[in-house]
Structure 1
Amino acid sequence: MNSFTYVEPAEPQPEIPLAGGDVTEGVVRVGDTVRRPVGPNAPLVHALLGHLEDVGFAGAPRFLGFDAAGREVLTYVPGEVAGRPRPEWLADEGRLASVGRLVRAYDDAVAGFVMPEGVRPDQGFSLPPGMPPEPPYPAEVVGHMDYTPDNIVFRDGVAAALIDFDVAKSVTRVDEVYNAMLYWAPLSDPADADPTLRDVDVPRRCRILADAYDMSDVDRSRLVEVAVLRTRRSWFSMRRLAEERGGGWARMWQEGVGDLIKRREAWLDRNGPSLHAALTAP
């Protein structure tokens, strides 16, 4: 899809601020559209959204162009997201399963996406020194990779759409499921989990997500390994994002996200066997 200037309707409409996630600021709703600042990964995101529109994937906004202020214009996706404080329904296992199905539907829809010439993922930071290696598996899809409760839209209690594709990049399907588990199982020390999810059965919830995604046996066997490697890398990437991009990234680092990541790594080391057993049991 080519970039172009969005034609505003004749009747002016008010800008209504929308609550964003941890790092996206300045997002507003104008009528049936959303206006967002243009991020460093915009060329890939716009091409990706164009592909999803072309293949008829209904679970994503449409990119409409740029407004007079230079902001992205996207279609507004109606529904319910889990703001803060998190709602009790975050723990609902039926909703959890629907997240797994939506992630699978997205990955299947994007499987045929070919990046346009000259377009590559841009995560907005340079490679930090000492960054641990990535998991040793070839990329399969351009994943969403930010399945936080803020970025999944529900309708009638079912995950129906994804928003905020800013960190889209080439990954494996295991990476995609791990990312969903990270926020929805959740994969974290219970002390760092949202109160709504602090006492849930995490291995069981991982199994629900894996089953809903229809995860292959091979991918299930790789999940814990990928989770550990991605967690180790995230400490370095989060620190570099805080240094180079500031804003919400710096705030998260100052609030202790680095320590949280280290606790997650220790928790995965302790609980990896039980997660693996739950994922691979007949």
Structure 2
Amino acid sequence: MTLMEVELDEEPLAGGNVSAGVVRVGDTVRRPAGPWTPAVHALLDHLRSVGFRAAPRPLGLDEQGREVLTFVPGTTVWPDHFDLMDGMESAKRVARLICEFHDAVQGFTPPPDACWQALIPPDARDIIAHHDLAPWNLVAGDDGAWVFIDWDTAGPGSRLWDLAHACQSFIPLSADPAWQRADAADRLVVFADAYGLEEGQRRALVPLLGKRARAMHDFLQAQAAAGNQPWKTLWRQGHGDTWRNNADYIEDRQELWERALLDT
């Protein structure tokens, strides 16, 4: 579907690390489309049809061939509003929201010709995952609602792979002293409890915490070596070191996370 429309001013949108070409036009967002866009829009349509509202609504393509999504008025949590994540209630809320998404997507059947923008190979494929559930993709809406944005890298993955990335970024599990939390293990337990993880899932999640962070490092390293942007620039800016250090930090404390999650 291509939208016919009157001329409106375009406002470039910042945020995230790969927002080039993303603009606001009135109450919509326009961003470059790709082969994956029809599948992503089918996913978003499905989520809305089953009552999940924490995602933008797809509105087709505009006359320039860009995908069109509803604009969510509010503030992106990362980096200037990360204090919204300070309390345990916030950790519970985001974990429940992720669980609601995973439950909602369970009944989604992708189009037979679905093409996904797969960036990082997942550990397993039991759902269509978001693959970047993180503060830089969470908007705290002006109406009080929380909405996940940037669904363009959605694709086959698993609940725990999605959740491992969310734990690392929302708790956060960080090697940077400026972001480290003395209560990280407690927050991890709150996250797991709010999501509703069973014992077997908790055991399986622990090794994925470091593996998912290290996968980010490896992805950036490979893309930088190939000269692909914007990843080459992010690597040069030190993002690869950040993910490697986070992976080391998480893996060095694997027994701590396991004891906390299993109460042993």
What's the TM-score, normalizing by structure 1? 0.84
Contact 2:210 2:248 in 1 (8 A): no
Give the equivalent residue in structure 2 for 1:123.
Answer: 118
Q: CA deviation at 1:29?
A: 1.2
Root-mean-square deviation (CA, aligned residues, Å) is: 2.4
Return the letter of the residue paired with 1:242.
Answer: A
Q: Indicate the SS of the match to 2:74.
A: coil
More relative contact order in 1 or in 2 (CA 8 Å, sep 6+)?
Answer: 1
Q: CA deviation at 1:248?
A: 2.5
Contact 2:202 2:261 in 1 (8 A): yes
Find the aligned partners of 1:200 and 1:151 in 2 and give their Cα distance: 25
Q: Indicate the SS of the match to 1:170.
A: strand
Give the equivalent residue in structure 2 for 1:163.
Answer: 149
Task: Describe how 1:1-282 pairs up with structure 2 within 5 A.
Answer: 4-8=1-5, 10=6, 12-39=7-34, 41-123=36-118, 135=123, 138-155=124-141, 160-191=146-177, 195=178, 197-244=179-226, 246-281=228-263
Find the aligned partners of 1:217 and 1:211 in 2 and give their Cα distance: 10
Contact 2:174 2:249 in 1 (8 A): yes
Contact 1:20 1:27 in 2 (8 A): no
1:47-105, CA deviations, whole angstroms, 9 ceiling, x for partnerless residues? 21121122222111111111122211101123332243344323232222111011011
1:135-169, CA deviations, whole angstroms, 9 ceiling, x for partnerless residues? 4xx42211112122121122479662111012212
Find the aligned partners of 1:87 and 1:186 in 2 and give their Cα distance: 10
Contact 2:33 2:66 in 1 (8 A): yes
Q: CA deviation at 1:107?
A: 0.6
What's the TM-score, normalizing by structure 2? 0.89
Return the letter of the residue paired with 2:160.
Answer: V
Contact 1:152 1:161 in 2 (8 A): yes
Q: CA deviation at 1:254?
A: 0.7
| Cα 1:124/1:172, change in 2 over 3 Å | closer
Identity of aligned residues (%): 35
Matched pairs, number: 264
| Cα 1:83/1:271, change in 2 over 3 Å | closer
1:180-220, CA deviations, whole angstroms, 9 ceiling, x for partnerless residues? 111111122134xxx4x334411111111111111122111
Find the aligned partners of 1:228 and 1:88 in 2 and give their Cα distance: 24
Contact 1:124 1:245 in 2 (8 A): no
Find the aligned partners of 1:178 and 1:158 in 2 and give their Cα distance: 26
Structure 1 unaligned segments of length 5 or more: list them: 128-133
Q: CA deviation at 1:260?
A: 2.0
| Cα 1:169/1:78, change in 2 over 3 Å | same
